[in-house]
Amino acid sequence: MMRQKIFLFGDSITEESFSDGGWGASLADLLRRKADIVLRGYSGYNTRWALKVVERVFPAAEEDGRDSPAAVTVFFGANDACLPERCSGFQHVPLDEYKQNLRSIISFLKNRWPQTAIILITPPPIDEEARLRYPYIENTTGLPERTNEVAGLYAKACITVAGECQSSVIDLWSKMQQIPNWQTECLWSYTNSYIHT
């Protein structure tokens, strides 16, 4: 009997999720005898770029539906929420476009695999001080290229789209901040882009 598959589709947080202690590796370990976890992570991507590759990165559906994955996680928004006037502005996607792009990704996945659970994951909170201490690219402004406030707007938009599309959602932005000292207790590695809990 073939094991079910779960696809993880997202940006660098997903791409690096199989690093030691990462969330993808933890999920694969948790479901090791029940499902195969298939990685579709693209460092630096936003929803605009994800839409350009979504048809090519997932296998075509079989007519009998036997190959349909059990679930697909869609984890974008951290790059979309970059501030447009700062050093990572080229990754920025306006909030309304972000919402429409998420709708389009969900629509594509539901059309390909009608029985598959689609699970959106909000962008995580931003530790602005850590972003300045460990920048990804040269940042001479002394200002973070992302803020927690803006990430929160994208998280709320993600939740809204999940409700509109009747998809599940994990509100990572809120959940992480419920943990005291989340900046250190939920090690959000800005050099390796994965989450330890």
12 labelled catalytic: yes
Buried b (16+ CB within 10 A) or exposed e, 18-51: beeebbbbbbbeeeeeebebbbbbbeebbbbbbb
Please tell me which residue in 12, 17, 88, 193 is annotated as part of the active site: 12
Provide the β-strand partners of residue 128: none
Distances in Å between the Cα of 169 and the Cα atoms of 23, 44, 75, 158, 165 are: 16, 22, 10, 8, 11
Is residue 82 within 8 A of residue 146, CB to CB? The reply is yes
In 3D space, the residue among 168, 172, 177 whose CA is nearest the CA of residue 155 turns out to be 172
Annotated catalytic residues are: 12
